[in-house]
Amino acid sequence: MIRPGQPRELWLTDTHQDQYGISLRIKKTLFRKQSAHQIVEVLDTEGFGRLLVLDGIIMCTERDEFVYHEMLVHVPLCAHADPRDVLVIGGGDGGTLREVLKHPSIRRVDMVEIDEAVIQASREFLPTLNTGWDDPRTRVLCRDGIEFLKTQRENYDVVLVDSTDPIGPAVGLFEEAFYRNAFQALRSEGLMALQSGSPFFDGDFLRSIHANLHAAFPHVSLYLAPVVTYPGGHWSFTFAGKAHGPLDGPHAERYRGRGLATRYYTPDIHHAALQLPRFIQDLLT
């Protein structure tokens, strides 16, 4: 075990499906806690800044998290004409919340994170991600997002699922029943987006997600972004809409009109991310 402040040279290796691994050189442990759900750690790395790890799996690093969080958030929010009320399920590191609050029309963000220890770790040790927790538009609910969503009806403009891989309690976040509840929670122009894994390694998972989403939503689209510290470095997200797809509105005008400050996402990236390579098109047919 790496102890807080320990100066030894150590590496964290996150393996995926027993066929691929990512290793990061660790300087020291800043936070470690066994919660009711998982082991939560924040580690300081040599090349990627601070790193959030859940049960030994890389969640995000300070160096590349902006790509993931900007793409999860701004593709759906720029596809919506007037996003006001947003539900984030998961996202306890705070990065998704940070990006949502950049949109000036936002009046409420409900953050439903099952593990309070993840929020604690972020607030104490991930300052570049945790800028939104004390915003008056934010409401934090430490509870099961699957159960929470069952009680919602037409309360949100956008639902964002910033979850771990489909392991343990997160399995239900990728099932048809959950997507049907998300559909009911959204208003008539409502949109949803979620992280949906690696197109290189998780083909069966991607097909399952899309089948389940198509059973609930009329408009479903996959889009892509490079996230260096995720398996394969090539990550997918999935968009679902009640009334329209991600390219049906003037997303470029909305981006400029809202004065969004981004490092990866742009209107051109929005369009390009939805142009899928042939092997992914074949995967989804």
Q: What is the CATH number of the domain that holds 17?
A: 2.30.140.10
Least confident of 2-11, 140-149, 274-283: 2-11
Is the domain of 216 the same as that of 240? yes
- High-pLDDT (> 90) share of the chain, %: 91
Higher pLDDT, 161 or 4: 161
Query: Is the residue at 180 inside a domain?
Result: yes
Total number of domains constituting the chain: 2
Residue 8, pLDDT above cutoff 80: no
Instruction: Evaluate whether residue 107 is within a structural domain.
Output: yes
What CA–CA distance (Å, rounded) separates 70 from 74?
6
- Regarding whether 112 and 33 lie in a shared domain, the answer is no
Q: What is the extent of the structural domain holding 32? A: 10-61
Tens-place pLDDT, residues 83-129? 999 999 999 999 999 999 999 999 999 999 999 999 999 999 999 99
Predicted confidence (pLDDT) per residue in 189-200, tens digit: 999 999 999 999
* Co-location of 169 and 245 in the same domain: yes
User: 272 versus 5: which is more confidently predicted?
Assistant: 272
pTM, full prediction:
0.94
Checking phi first, is residue 17 left (phi over 0); if not, alpha (psi -120 to 50) or beta? left
Residue 1 pLDDT greater than 50, yes or no: no
- Say which residues have a Cβ less than 8 Å from residue 32's Cβ, sequence separation at least 6: 1, 2, 4, 39, 40, 41, 42
Q: Is the pLDDT of residue 156 over 60?
A: yes
**Residues 241-265, mean pLDDT to the nearest whole number:** 97
- Given 44, 162, 204, 282, the catalytic residue: 162
Q: Which residue has the higher pLDDT, 93 or 164?
A: 93
Q: Is 162 part of the annotated catalytic residue set?
A: yes
> According to the model, what pLDDT value does residue 110 have?
98
- Adjacency order of strands within the sheet including 10-16: 10-16, 20-34, 39-45, 50-54, 57-61
Per the listing, tokens 């699922």 go with: 161
* Mean pLDDT value across residues 260-279: 98
